[in-house]
Amino acid sequence: MTGEPEWIVHFADLSLEDALSLAASQGRPVRVVRPGEAMTMDFSPDRVNLLLDNEGHLARVTWG
């Protein structure tokens, strides 16, 4: 699979709370990763990865 899936753009510029709500409404699994935490390399094409900054705010959204 190449490129980002179409659904990922809907997570742009959301707060953490809104991103979690959107993922739940779409039935997507979510992985929240805080700074310094390990992240497994397993790939799940429907999963939303929410990467937080040091203040606990959503800094980046990826998929897989």
In this prediction, residue 19 carries a pLDDT of 97
In this prediction, residue 55 carries a pLDDT of 95
- What percentage of the chain's residues is helix, strand, coil (to nearest 5)? 25, 25, 50
How far apart (Å, rounded) are the C-alpha atoms in residues 37 and 9?
25
Domains of the chain (ranges; CATH) run: 31-64 (3.30.10.10)
In this prediction, residue 3 carries a pLDDT of 83
Residue 28, amino acid: R
Contact 45, 1 (CB under 8 A): yes
pLDDT in tens, 15-42: 999 999 999 999 999 999 999 999 999 9
In this prediction, residue 4 carries a pLDDT of 86
Report how far apart, in Å, the C-alpha atoms of 22 and of each of 2, 18, 27, 41 are. 23, 6, 9, 24
